[in-house]
Amino acid sequence: MIGLIQRGTYKAGRGWCLVGGAVLRDEPLVAAVRRHVQATLGSGMVLQPSTLQLHEVIEYFTNPDLGEFHDPRKHAVALTYSARADGIPSAQGEALAFQGFPQDQLAAIQFGFRQGTVVNRMLEDLGQEKKYDTT
Rounded to two decimals, what is the model's pTM? 0.89
pLDDT tens string for the chain (135 positions)?
Answer: 899 999 998 876 899 999 999 999 999 999 999 999 999 999 999 999 999 999 999 999 999 999 999 999 999 999 999 999 999 999 999 999 999 999 999 999 999 999 999 999 999 998 886 555 555
Contacts of 106 (CB under 8 A, 6+ apart): 2, 116, 119, 120, 130, 132
CATH 3.40.640.10 fits 2-125, yes or no: no
Domain edges within the chain? 2-125
